[in-house]
Chain A
Amino acid sequence: MEIAPSITQHTIVLCVEKRERGIAIQQILTKFGFKVVMALSLYDALKFIAQEMPHLVLTDAILSDGTAGTLYDRLQQHVLLKKTPILVQVLKKTKEELAPLTGRKFAGFMLGVSEPKMLIAKVLEVLKTHSVVSPYFISSEQANIKSELIIAIEANVVGRFGEQVVSRSSTEVDPSAAMVCVPDNAENGPAVFRMATNLKDGEETFNLFPINRIVGAGRIWILNLPEIKMGQQSLPEAAQKMHKVLFYDPSEERANGFAEILKGYGIDLVYAKTLNMAASILKRDFEVIEAIYLHELMNDASGIEWKNVNAKIPTDRRPPMVVGTTSINARSTAAVRYIKRPFGMGLFVEMLHASFERGKDIGEVAGKNAANAFAGVPVKYQAQASLVGIDETGGIIQLKFPLLKGSRMIIKHPLLERAWDGNGVVNITGSSALPGKPDVWQARFEAVQAGTSKAKYWEKVSKIFAVIEEPAEVKSA
């Protein structure tokens, strides 16, 4: 099965003789997104490799207390670690450096002191050849295990606000996700929720879903949820109010078209032709602006100016921001909601409407510490996924929408749950679409059960999945 590129953060154990050179290489690799653990001796290298189970060992040919050859031999004796690719840096083509390398199957060599670009290219080449995900990665097919699984997010539906269902959970939900909301109480039917908006109030995360887009038997209990009332304003008053939205679009004609149509939806546009102009308006009128739409947000001077102005506004008064993007990998968060351009009218209007709510306001009336808050309906947001494979920290799943990095969710898969002693909670560490397939996403997860010792975790998991060779008896020298 195809694996999405760049969803795995690779760990490299760097073994160098000289600390200064090690720090320089570490900086280059870290900047490129690798996790680097530096060892200044063979002894430390072996210790770190056993702990970290790296995807690559980058080592000098000569170390302070041994050679790359010894390192290779020691790893070959280890049933778990023998697949670890080793890339050797030969600084001088001397007999002393070259001799220990003969007769051993290293993953690659670099001669002389490498330029940063060459170093990265070589590292990527070796990783691609030896461990696209990890040297320990075993696909579901290889392990001959059932790939179908269910992902679930635990949440508590706390009420309705206007045309939105509000729930509290530990994680943000991507706006493009369609998930089945399954109440813990089987008397309440399930329903499909989509187009989430996330709000933050301190540590609390609120997921808002437009009622308009909910389909399924669960609509019945959803419509009976209590309404969340904000301050003194009643819902009909709130619905009739015109909402001011700061609207940046380089085309004035396009903006005028939006102004006319959005007025009918209760949205009053404050137009800015440039991002600088938008920044000035925000600086002056942030108290009356309820949401912001930016056609694009570049990393140029105007983008930086915008970010500076926005950052100076107190967090709880900062208007929510919807930013247009053409990238499919831009992931919305509570701070910035991305809308993929070109977009449709309904999606845009729903997104703007959801932006008028603030996490702090919701938190005050529906958060854990809110007085008289409705206890809520405990639910799970579920979606079908498939297990691409497992490795030393977790694995990769495939599904139809992106999962946000940092999300915490439950994986329901009989064998994984057994391996994790019934605790299926995982952390999502990366998510990406397959090239050319915007509807096929892969997400990398780390099992919370992994704890600190990857080796112990992998030993246990791999036994359950029967993917590890039984250790052979070691003949004494």
Chain B
Amino acid sequence: MDLTGSDLADTWQEKIAAFEFASPLLFANNLDEAQILLNNGGVFNLVIFSDQNSGNVQALLKAFQANVGCIADFQGIVCSNPSAAFMAGVFEFGVEQFFSLENWAEEVAALTRKTVETLSDPTSAESRTVNLSRSIRSADQAAIQKAAAAIKDLAEFDYRAAFAKGKACEATGDYNAAASSYAMSSAMNKMFRPGSASLGEALLVTGKVDEALEVFKTLEKTNPYDVERKANIAAAYIEKGDFESANRYVAMAEKIAPENSRVLEAKAQVLLCTGKVGEAFKLMDGMSEVGPFFAAKLNELGIQLSQSGKGKSALALYQKAHKIVRPELRYKISMNAALACRRLQAWDMALKYLARCQKEFGGPFPKLLKIKNSVNDAKAQSGGGSGGTTEEAS
């Protein structure tokens, strides 16, 4: 992926001709194209040509982490003289390989050979991590659990595997287990920043706000330029009710990257907490790949609206939320939407949401079946009561 605007599109094929690549190279020079390639699932290496830590670099690294996994050895940045801020920025994703503009072709050839060799061993930590990431991406809960079980033994002594296990726990909604996996990962490798950053996020989701804040602030000391962390610190301060500090961090993050989705999340969170729901909704249009913390916040708000009789507002919120959250988190939104419909006695719509939930989850699960039965019973009785005691998922 070329983010330098050079003439690489015309020259890259000539440059690679002399070297042995173990897999074919695909070239992209705009973010959308690169993200499509990553999302298609056939890409295992990412090489970015860039001379600064731009939002596009961050977006690509994030997409790679989501689609392939947090495997530093599979990624590289081509930049002959990176600044400390750039190095620290990509190190947030565990990336430590930089290639010079003079030697990038042979280095990338070596990168592909190493990747193919590693992935040809299905028992390697990398192979299992890729499988798990693919399962999480498919959002198929049964496949996630299977892939997570395959990596379980490694997670005790491989920080990358522990991190991947944490992601699997997150995808299945078990944030406490995710937090312990991330804690294990960052204890094994104190320099592995994705582990520590995800630990902070999981602690935030599980309500351990002070612990989360401590993790984020420790990371902040060694890289004060990370936008997402500033947004996370802001989110933690919002949880503590300290809006002044939250706004300070939001402002700092906005100054670095105003369009960053995570910054918009923090801003929307401030608006939601201060009752400015309409404004928050507007901001949500610019978001994508929303993480578990804000997704939980949206579910929480939806539940409140539904339980207070504002079912239609809840459904509108869920509709918006469904578009912006990560694929593995969508099934919860669908389930909550179904419950909101049940309260509204919109039985058919509830059943539609439940069918979508089942599809997103990858199959039926006990809670879903219970809700389905209660909706069917209520439908049969034609408007007879709320039909059960099932609760929404946050």
**Chain B residues near A347 (CB-CB < 8 A):** 96
Instruction: Please give the distance in Å from B255's CB to the nearest CB on chain A.
Output: 16
Contact between A215 and B224, CB atoms less than 8 A apart: no
B222 touches A265 (CB 8 A): yes
Q: Give the residues from 89 to 127 in chain B that come closer than 8 angstroms, CB to CB, to chain A.
A: 90-91, 94-100, 102-103, 106-107, 109-110, 113-114, 125
Contact A345 B18 (CB under 8 A): no
Structural contact, A191 and B95, CB atoms closer than 8 A: no
Closest beta carbon of chain B to A435's beta carbon, Å: 9
Q: Is A344 at the interface (CB under 8 A from chain B)? A: yes
Q: A163-B190, A212-B189, A439-B114 are in contact. Are A257 and B106 (CB under 8 A)?
A: no
Say whether B81 contacts A254, CB under 8 Å: yes
Give the docked Cα–Cα distance between A277 and B106 (Å): 36
**Contact: B84 with A254, CB < 8 Å?**
yes
Among residues of B, the one whose C-beta sits closest to the C-beta of A210 is B191
The contact string, 1 if C-beta is below 8 Å from chain A, for chain B 66-105, is 0000000000000111111101101100111111101100
Contact A345 B109, beta carbon cutoff 8 Å: no
A341 vs B85: C-alpha distance in the bound complex, in angstroms? Answer: 16
Q: Is B282 an interface residue (CB 8 A)?
A: no
CB within 8 Å for A264 and B223 given contacts A344-B91, A438-B110:
yes
The reply on A9 being an interface residue by CB < 8 A is: no
Does A216 sit at the interface, judged by CB under 8 A?
A: yes
* Contact yes or no, A258 B190, CB < 8 A: no
A326 within 8 A of B: yes
Within 8 Å of chain A (Cβ to Cβ): is B20?
yes
Q: Which residue of A lies closest to B101 (CB)?
A: A342
Which of A325-345 touch B at CB < 8 Å? 326, 341-345
How far, in angstroms, from A349 to B189 measured CA to CA in the complex?
13
What residues of A have a CB within 8 angstroms of the CB of B221 in the complex?
A: 263-264
Q: Which of A116-165 contact B (CB under 8 A)?
A: 163
Residues of B within 8 A of A345 (CB): 84, 87-88, 91, 96
Cβ of B330 < 8 Å from any Cβ of A?
no
Chain B residues whose C-beta falls within 8 Å of the C-beta of A253 in the assembled complex:
83
Residue on A nearest B192 in the bound complex, by CB? A212
CB neighbours (8 Å) of B229 from chain A are none
Q: How far is the CA of A341 from the CA of B101 in the complex (A)?
A: 11
Determine the distance from Cα of A405 to Cα of B102 in the docked complex, in whole angstroms.
27
Query: What residues on A are CB-neighbors of B85 within 8 Å?
Result: 257, 261
Interface of chain A residues 251 through 286 with chain B (CB within 8 A)? 251, 253-254, 257-258, 260-265
Interface string of A294-334 (1 = CB under 8 A from B): 00000000000000000000000000000000100000000
Chain A residues with CB under 8 A of B191: 210, 212, 346, 349-350
How far, in angstroms, from A260 to B221 measured CA to CA in the complex? 9
Cβ of B188 within 8 Å of any chain A Cβ, yes or no, is: yes
Whether the Cβ atoms of A213 and B189 lie closer than 8 Å is: yes
B99 to chain A, nearest CB (A): 7
Q: Using Cβ atoms and an 8 Å threshold, which residues of chain B touch A191?
A: 157
B365 at the interface (CB under 8 A from A): no
Using Cβ atoms and an 8 Å threshold, which residues of chain B touch A263?
221
Residues in A whose Cβ lies below 8 Å from that of B91: 344-346
Interface residues of A in 431-446 (CB under 8 A from B): 436-440
B residues in contact with A220, CB < 8 Å: 157
Interface string of B238-274 (1 = CB under 8 A from A): 0000000000000000000000000000000000000
Q: How far is the CB of A112 from chain B (nearest CB, A)?
A: 40
User: CB-CB < 8 A to B87: which residues of A?
Assistant: 261, 343-345, 348
Most buried by A among B18, B87, B102, B188: B87
B100 lies within 8 A of A341 (CB): yes
Docked-complex contact B98 and A260, CB < 8 angstroms: no
Which single residue of chain A is at the shortest CB-CB distance from B94? Answer: A346
Is B392 in contact with chain A by the CB < 8 A criterion?
A: no
Task: Give the docked Cα–Cα distance between A347 and B97 (Å).
Answer: 9
- Within B291-348, the residues touching A (CB, 8 Å) are none
**CB-based contact A344/B157 at 8 Å:** no
> Contact: B110 with A344, CB < 8 Å?
no
Q: From A254, which residue of chain B is reached at the shortest CB distance? A: B83
Cα separation A299 to B99 with both chains bound (whole Å) = 25
Nearest CB on B from A249, distance (A):
10
Q: Is B159 an interface residue (CB 8 A)?
A: yes
By the criterion CB–CB under 8 Å, are B98 and A261 in contact?
no
Contact (Cβ within 8 A) A439 B110 = yes
**Cα A55 to Cα B18 with chains together (Å):** 31
> Counting CB contacts under 8 A, is B27 at the interface?
no
Are B84 and A261 touching (Cβ within 8 A)? Answer: yes
Would you call A344 and B95 a contact (CB within 8 A)? yes
Given A212-B189, A438-B107, A342:B84 Cβ within 8 A: no
Closest to B98 in A: A342
Of chain A, the residue at the smallest CB distance from B87 is: A345
Would you call B222 and A261 a contact (CB within 8 A)? yes
Complex Cα distance, B19 from A264, in Å, reads 40
How far is B192's CA from A63's CA once the two chains are assembled, in angstroms?
Answer: 69
Question: Does A219 interact with chain B (Cβ within 8 Å)?
Answer: yes
- Smallest CB–CB gap between B152 and chain A, Å? 14
A242 beta carbon closer than 8 Å to chain B: no
Is residue A235 contacting chain B, with contact meaning CB distance below 8 A? Answer: no
The answer, yes or no, to whether B158 is at the interface (CB within 8 Å) is yes
A346 with B223: CB separation less than 8 A: no
- CB of A288 within 8 Å of the partner chain: no
Q: In the complex where A216-B157, A257-B85 touch, is A342 in contact with B96 (Cβ < 8 A)?
A: no
How far is it, in angstroms, between the C-alpha of A254 and the C-alpha of B81 when the chains are bound?
9
A215 adjacent to B88 (CB under 8 Å):
no
Q: Are A344 and B19 in contact (CB under 8 A)?
A: no
* Min C-beta distance of A73 to chain B, whole Å: 46
Does B160 reach chain A (CB closer than 8 Å)? yes
Known: A215-B157, A438-B107, A438-B110. A344 touches B188 (CB 8 A): no
CB contact between B79 and one of A218, A342, A348 (< 8 Å): that residue:
A342
Q: Cβ of A464: which chain B residues have Cβ within 8 Å of it? A: none
Q: For A212, A265, A440, which residue has the most chain B Cβ atoms within 10 angstroms?
A: A212
Q: Are A212 and B106 in contact (CB under 8 A)?
A: no
B110 contacts which chain A residues (CB < 8 A)?
437-440
Docked CA distance A257–B102 (Å): 24
Binary flags per residue of A216-228, CB closer than 8 Å to B gives 1, else 0: 1111100000000
The proximity string for A residues 348-376 relative to B, scoring 1 for CB distances below 8 Å and 0 otherwise, is 11100000000000000000000000000
Contacts of A440 in B (CB 8 A): 110
Query: B97 is contacted by which of A219, A257, A260, A344 (Cβ under 8 Å)?
Result: A344
Contact between A260 and B224, CB atoms less than 8 A apart: yes
The complex places the Cα of A341 from the Cα of B79 at a distance, in Å, of 10
Q: Which residue of A lies closest to B82 (CB)?
A: A342
A343 to B100, CA, bound (A): 10
> Do B188 and A219 touch (CB < 8 A)?
yes
Most central of A216, A220, A261, A341 by chain B CB within 10 Å = A261
In the complex, residue of chain B having the shortest beta-carbon distance to the beta carbon of A350: B191
- Evaluate contact between A342 and B158: CB separation under 8 angstroms: no
Contacts of A261 in B (CB 8 A): 84-85, 87-88, 222-224
How far is it, in angstroms, between the C-alpha of A326 and the C-alpha of B102 when the chains are bound? 10
User: Bound complex: CA of A163 vs CA of B192, how far in Å?
Assistant: 14
Q: Find chain A residues with CB under 8 A from B106 CB.
A: 436-438
Report A273 CB to chain B, min CB distance, Å: 16
* Residues in chain B near residue A212, CB distance under 8 A: 159, 188-192
Within the complex, what minimum Cβ distance (angstroms) separates A419 from chain B?
Answer: 30
Of the candidates B80, B88, B95, B223, the one whose C-beta lies within 8 Å of that of A342 is: B80
**Besides A344-B87, A344-B90, 17 new A-B residue pairs in contact (Cβ under 8 A), listed by A number:** A191-B157, A215-B157, A215-B159, A219-B188, A254-B81, A257-B83, A260-B84, A260-B224, A261-B88, A342-B80, A343-B87, A345-B88, A345-B96, A436-B18, A437-B106, A437-B109, A438-B110
Q: Which 6 A-B pairs have the closest CB atoms?
A: A344-B96, A264-B222, A257-B84, A264-B221, A342-B98, A439-B110
- A sample of 12 cross-chain residue pairs with beta-carbon separation below 8 angstroms, ordered by A number, consists of A210-B191, A212-B159, A212-B190, A254-B83, A257-B85, A344-B87, A345-B88, A350-B191, A438-B103, A438-B107, A438-B110, A439-B110
